C-alpha cells in the first residue's frame, strides 16, 4: 500500500518529530484555523467528486476536515485554500487524499472476543439452517484490503467441515481500486502472525520471504468488487453482512438509510455484524439484538419500502434530481395521494403495534373507539387492549 514518506534514515527522526507535534496527532482533533472556512472544505470535496467520481456528502464533516488537515501537514501546507490549489494541479495528491478519506484501517480477526461470540452463537445456526445445496451468502462492504473478508472465509470454511453445507460465497466490496487489487493479490506482511492463530496461519497461508499469501481455497471463496455503498445497489439474499467501523463515519441520516438497505439485502433472520462503536440506533423495528456488547444483530420483520433508497443517494445528488420530476412520477404521486385519502375516509379503525407492543401507527377513525392522551404514547399491551380498548 502507498506510504506517506520515502526518506533516507538520517531524515526520518526529523519527520517523525514534526508529525508527532502536529495537532492532528498531539490533540486528536483539529479546530478550523482562522484561514479555514467551510467553503474551502466543500470545494475540496467537489474536486474529489469531479475528478474521482466519489461523493463524500454523507460523511461527517469533522472526520473529513481532520483527514484533510492530516494530508496538509504531510505536504507542509498551512492553509486549506492553498491545499486546494495544490490538489488542482496534483492528481497523485488528490488520490492520496481520497484514500485517506476512506480510512481503510483493518486487520485479521479484529476484536477477537467478538469473533469468538460470532463463531459460537451465530455461524453454527446460519450453517445448520441452510439446505444442503444452498450457498451461504455473505457481504463485507467497505472491505479495504480484505482482512475482514478473509477472516470470515476462514471461520466459515472451518465451521462447514463435516456438515452437509452448500458453497460459501463472500462478496467483499469497496470503492478503492488500489485496496481491492491488494486484497485480490492476498499477500500480507508477516506481522499478521500476531492476529492469525498459528493453526490457521499454517492451513490458510503460504509463507513467502517476509510475507504470507492466502491459499487458493481461501482466495476462491471471496469475490472482490468495486461498489459504492452509498450510491450503488446492494447484493441480495444474504445470510450475513459484516460492516464494521464504517457507519461511524457517516451522518446519522445516511446511517439509517444504509441500515434499511442492509435489512432489504438480508434474508429473514440474517445476521448483521457491526463495529464496536456502532449500533442500529433507532432501527429497532428492523433488527433485534443478538449481542449488544459485540454489536451483532438479526433481521426481523418485512422490508420497509418507505425507508428504502436503492440506491442510497446523498442529499446533494437528490437535490439535483428534484429539479426535474418526470411526468409519470408526478402522476404516481397523485394516485398515491388519492389512495391515501380513500383509506383515511373508508378504512376501518386500526392500530399497528410493534414487537414490544408499542403503538407505531393509527389508521381510520380510531378516535371513535380509543382516545390517546397528549404527549408520548405509552406502551399498550394486547392484554390491556382486551380489557379496555
Alpha helix (H) ranges present in the chain?
12-21, 23-26, 38-52, 61-74, 80-89, 91-102, 112-117, 123-128, 147-160, 177-185, 198-204, 216-219, 252-265, 315-321, 327-346, 382-388
Q: pLDDT-based confidence at 9, cuts 50/70/90? A: confident
CB atoms within 10 A of CB 285: 17
Strand arrangement, sheet containing 205-208: 187-189, 211-214, 205-208
Cell matching residue 182: 491488494
For the chain, the structural domain boundaries read: 9-102, 112-299, 327-388
Supply the pLDDT for residue 111: 92
SS3 178: helix
**What's the Cα-to-Cα distance from 33 to each of 23, 48, 60, rounded to whole Å?**
11, 22, 19
Q: What is the DSSP annotation of 315-341?
A: HHHHHHHTTS--HHHHHHHHHHHHHHH
pLDDT band at 31 (very low <50, low <70, confident <90, very high): very low
| Rounded Cα–Cα distance for residues 232 and 229 (Å) | 6
Task: Measure the CA–CA gap between 364 and 339, rounded to whole angstroms.
Answer: 13
354 torsion bin: left (phi>0), alpha (psi -120 to 50), beta (else): beta
Q: Are strands 168-174 and 222-226 parallel, antiparallel or unpaired?
A: parallel
Copy the grid coordinates of residue 18.
Answer: 514534526
- Cα distance between residue 98 and residue 71, in whole Å: 10
Are residues 241 and 266 in contact, defined by beta-carbon separation less than 8 angstroms?
A: yes
Q: Tell me what pLDDT residue 321 has.
A: 38
Distances (CA, A) of 193 to 108, 144, 174, 200: 9, 19, 25, 10
CA angle 123, 129, 131 (to 5 degrees): 120
Phi, psi of 202 (to 5 degrees): -70, -35
Report residue 273: phi and psi, to 5°: -115, 110
What mean pLDDT do residues 334-343 have?
68
Tell which residue, 27, 39, 179, has the closest CA to residue 106.
179
**What is the per-residue pLDDT for 1?**
46
pLDDT band at 27 (very low <50, low <70, confident <90, very high): very low
Straight-line distance from the first to the last Cα atom of the chain, in angstroms, rounded to the nearest whole number: 64
- CA distances to 30, 157, 170 from 204, rounded to whole Å, are 42, 10, 16
Q: Which of 19-33, 230-244, 297-311: highest mean pLDDT?
A: 230-244
User: Per residue in 105-134, pLDDT tens?
Assistant: 789 999 999 999 999 999 888 887 777 778
Mean of the pLDDT values across residues 191-198? Answer: 94
Fold of 112-299: Rossmann fold (3.40.50)
Kind and range of the H or E element at 238? strand 238-243
**What confidence tens digit (pLDDT) does each residue in 339-359 have?**
666 666 667 777 777 766 767
Whole-number pLDDT of residue 29: 46
Amino acid at each position: 500500500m502507498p506510504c506517506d514518506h520515502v526518506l533516507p534514515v538520517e531524515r526520518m527522526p526529523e519527520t517523525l518529530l514534526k508529525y508527532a507535534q502536529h495537532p492532528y496527532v498531539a490533540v486528536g482533533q483539529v479546530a478550523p484555523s482562522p484561514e479555514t472556512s467551510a467553503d474551502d472544505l466543500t470545494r475540496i470535496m467537489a474536486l474529489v467528486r469531479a475528478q474521482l467520481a466519489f461523493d463524500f456528502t454523507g460523511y461527517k464533516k469533522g472526520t473529513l476536515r481532520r483527514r484533510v488537515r492530516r494530508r496538509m501537514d504531510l505536504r507542509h501546507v498551512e492553509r486549506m485554500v492553498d491545499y486546494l490549489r495544490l490538489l488542482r494541479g496534483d492528481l497523485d495528491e488528490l488520490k492520496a487524499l481520497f484514500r485517506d478519506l476512506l480510512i481503510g484501517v483493518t486487520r485479521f480477526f479484529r476484536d477477537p472476543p467478538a469473533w469468538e461470540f460470532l463463531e459460537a452463537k451465530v455461524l453454527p445456526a446460519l450453517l445448520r439452517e441452510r439446505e444442503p445445496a444452498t450457498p451461504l451468502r455473505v457481504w463485507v462492504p467497505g472491505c479495504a484490503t480484505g482482512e475482514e473478508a478473509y477472516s470470515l472465509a476462514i471461520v466459515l470454511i472451518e465451521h462447514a467441515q463435516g456438515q452437509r453445507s452448500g458453497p460459501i460465497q463472500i462478496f467483499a466490496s469497496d470503492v478503492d481500486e488500489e485496496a481491492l487489487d491488494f486484497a485480490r493479490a492476498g499477500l500480507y506482511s508477516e506481522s499478521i502472525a500476531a492476529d492469525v492463530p498459528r493453526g490457521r496461519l499454517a492451513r490458510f497461508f503460504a509463507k513467502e520471504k517476509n510475507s504470507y499469501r492466502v491459499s487458493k481455497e481461501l482466495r476462491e471463496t471471496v469475490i472482490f468488487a468495486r461498489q459504492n455503498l452509498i450510491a450503488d445497489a446492494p447484493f441480495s439474499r444474504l445470510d450475513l453482512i459484516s460492516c464494521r467501523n464504517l457507519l461511524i463515519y457517516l451522518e446519522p441520516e445516511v446511517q439509517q438509510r444504509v441500515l434499511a438497505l442492509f435489512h432489504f439485502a438480508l434474508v429473514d433472520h440474517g445476521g448483521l455484524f457491526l463495529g464496536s462503536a456502532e449500533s442500529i440506533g433507532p432501527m429497532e423495528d428492523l433488527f433485534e439484538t443478538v449481542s449488544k456488547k459485540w454489536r451483532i444483530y438479526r433481521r426481523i420483520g418485512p422490508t420497509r419500502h418507505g425507508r428504502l433508497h436503492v440506491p442510497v443517494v446523498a442529499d446533494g445528488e437528490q437535490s439535483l434530481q428534484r429539479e426535474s420530476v418526470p411526468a409519470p412520477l408526478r402522476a404516481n404521486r397523485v394516485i398515491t395521494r388519492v389512495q391515501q385519502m380513500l383509506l383515511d375516509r373508508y378504512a376501518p379503525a386500526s392500530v399497528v403495534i410493534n414487537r414490544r407492543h408499542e403503538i407505531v401507527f393509527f389508521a381510520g377513525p380510531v378516535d371513535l373507539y380509543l382516545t390517546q392522551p397528549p404527549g408520548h404514547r405509552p406502551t399498550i399491551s394486547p392484554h390491556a387492549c382486551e380489557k379496555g380498548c
